[in-house]
Structure 1
Amino acid sequence: MSVAPTLAAKEMEENADTLSSHRVISLLLDGALERVSQAKACVRDGNETDKVILISKLIGIVNGLRQSLNMDQGGAIAVNLEKLYLYMADRLAACENEEELHVLSEIGELIGNVKQGWDAIAEPQAG
């Protein structure tokens, strides 16, 4: 397996000029979930090289999500999300070989929960 762009990354690249910020965050969350799945497959298959690349890309996505937070307008939700994103990045960076699948499953569940909440928020309508 070589590390190809996620479907979300492809959509962002193709539609960069027309995507709303809400959609960009949704795509980042989709991309993170895709990277979790790919990294877990690499752990199971013993593909150390791609696993390291995928975990690094996943950390990058999580950090991008953290940097996108509007701390001035987001209130307690933004503060809590920042803490959650920092926790995820720290867990991914520090996980050891014997706990990788557990950590990746945990991170996937956390990202899935964030995505579920994000998708429940109606996208602002232009106008």
Structure 2
Amino acid sequence: MFTSVNSRAASAYKRVSADTGVTTADPHQLVGMLFDGLIQSLNAARGAMERGEIEAKGMAVGKAVRILEEGLKGGLNMAQGGDLAKNLSGLYSYAVQRLTLANLRNDRALVTEVIGLIEPLADSWKQIRSTAAAAPATGQGA
């Protein structure tokens, strides 16, 4: 089966766009991108479960677990992060356990539970940027 030229071009554009976004993003934006990718993967896993697409479900759950383990949890600074980093690490580990069980049992409710845990965190992360941008500058003037 062949894909159309338009489909291949769109796919290439998405890869270049994603690569450029990652290359030009600051650390705050990178974490935001991880949260976006995680939520997208969780929704894809839930949809695949609903459609009975086992392979797609496994791939989406696997991607979500990698984002949690290698991206979000791996990026925590445990030495400087104190209780917050420890609590986030525990939350990410719990989410991985629930997703593993969801994959094993084909349980959409467990994926929904993880989405319910991650979405408020992702929203809060995005608000940090907008709150910091809205705060008046407190620097020393000349």
Question: Does TM-score exceed 0.5, indicating one fold?
Answer: yes
Q: Pairwise CA RMSD of aligned residues?
A: 2.3
For residues 67-99 of structure 1, the C-alpha deviation after alignment (integer angstroms, 9 at most, x for no partner) is 10111221111110000001111111123325x
Q: If you compute each CA radius of gyration, which structure gives the higher value, 1 or 2?
A: 2
Residue 93 of structure 2 is aligned with which of 62, 86, 102? 86
- Aligned identity (percent) is 26
Superposed, which structure 2 residues align to 1:1-127 within 5 Å? 11-63=17-69, 64-95=71-102, 96-97=104-105, 100-122=107-129
- Measured after TM superposition, the shift of residue 10 of structure 1 is 6.6
Distance 1:62 1:16, change over 3 A: same
Distance 1:10 1:51, change over 3 A: farther
The one-letter code sitting in structure 2 at the alignment partner of 1:78 is: A
Q: 5+ unaligned residues in a row in structure 2: which ranges?
A: 1-10, 134-142
Q: 5+ unaligned residues in a row in structure 1: which ranges?
A: none
| CA contact 1:40–1:104 (8 Å) conserved in 2 | yes
Name the TM-score, length of structure 2 as normaliser: 0.74
Alignment partners' CA distance in 2, 1:49 and 1:59: 15
Name the TM-score, length of structure 1 as normaliser: 0.82
| CA contact 1:39–1:55 (8 Å) conserved in 2 | yes
Greater fraction of residues in helix: 2
Alignment partners' CA distance in 2, 1:11 and 1:106: 31
> Quick one: higher RCO (CA 8 Å, sep 6+), 1 or 2?
1
- Measured after TM superposition, the shift of residue 35 of structure 1 is 0.7
Alignment partners' CA distance in 1, 2:126 and 2:90: 20
Stretches (4+) displaced over 3 A: 8-12
